A and B are shown apart, each in its own frame.
Chain A
């Protein structure tokens, strides 16, 4: 199957109770302008809602925006639920106020790169595009 030309679908969500959704909106608009189909679900999403949406929308990637300090719990929970559903091929990435050490620990556990304040949007776009293309290619190889 040729997936290469299909638009990249990304879920942008804000888990937890912090109300700072400016970053998520800026990111959603940047991904849209990069030609991606962005499913934007807004504030106060639970990990269950996020994984259910990702499943129904068959997204290539999930970007979580977290400013509450609960990133360790939330990323781990979403990652575990994705694995439970067999959705290992979905890229889980995101950003917010996340200390480097924490980002490194999460990366070791299977979370993608996390972007802090001031990270250029073009880096994020490039990262998602390259990572999704690599994953699509890998799944095609498996198929043939």
Chain B
């Protein structure tokens, strides 16, 4: 299927599934084509609720997403899932296996599932995940659910990409001190202690509750901490209810606005960093003496950065 960007936009806005799939490929590929298509779709985005699901590898995110999305399908009849899995840093290949856990979800009408490779990007999402979420939003999905790669303590990009962040943890991954560490849990709006069919889930919940009580870092109130089992389905209804409740909560909706401002600012700065990085590389390639000076100890890296920045501003980039 080969279409111009404008034709592709029209078909995406009409909700044509194949066009949506192709648009994601174009957005993911990036470059001028990706940017042009994104510019056409972006004005039509902004209506969908964006739910981020993150947590360590093996916490049961994919299985939980399958269950949770089926619960939410009643409220959000057009529902898209973007599931991110890691790429190999060596070969750049990826095995995207999240769909294995989402068999039942894929049978439902109005549901669209897409796998995405992280393509070397840290942070838990792929390089064009935000653009792809915009595209799904423009295509008229009411709920865009993004599942990150299995993350550790500092991959927090999803919290900036989503209106609601659900952090999934499982028993057996450390004691109460782990729960006290900074990072992931501070960004959670809802915490799900998954695998409640196994022992130890309640201890984890108690440790988390104690940790949130001790923490004053959060400007927002402590998240709901819910037990669930993606294996038996127990607790998933309550989890869906808590998503629904947050989405409908007036105070929380005001916070969505603030978050979207913060996210927009982050995207602007991030884009600038990438472009400035490319410009800096061009300066350094055109004048290798700068790098040599830093290697030889004649100039600090920071002083060289300032010099590069000065030249970029003056337009001496080639």
Contact = CB atoms under 8 A, between A and B. Distances in A.
Given A2-B31, A6-B29, A35-B91, A55 B96 contact: no
A7 interface: yes
A28 B106 CA distance: 21
A142 B1 CA distance: 10
Nearest to B116: A37
Interface residues of B, number: 32
Contacts of B22: 58
Interface string A24-42: 0000110111111111111
Q: Is the interface of A mostly helix, strand, loop or mixed?
A: mixed
Nearest to A34: B93
Contact of B95 (A40, A56, A87, A89): A40
Given A2-B31, A57-B115, A142 B21 contact: no
Interface in A24-79: 28-29, 31-42, 49, 52-53, 55-58
A35 B91 CA distance: 5
B115 A39 contact: yes
Contacts of A28: 95
A55 B21 contact: yes
Contacts of B278: none
A139 B95 CA distance: 26
B96 A37 contact: yes
B219 interface: no
Interface of A: 1-3, 6-7, 9, 28-29, 31-42, 49, 52-53, 55-58, 85-87, 89, 139-140, 142-143
13 contacts: A9-B25, A33-B93, A35-B93, A37-B93, A38-B94, A38-B95, A40-B96, A40-B99, A55-B18, A56-B17, A56-B114, A58-B24, A139-B2
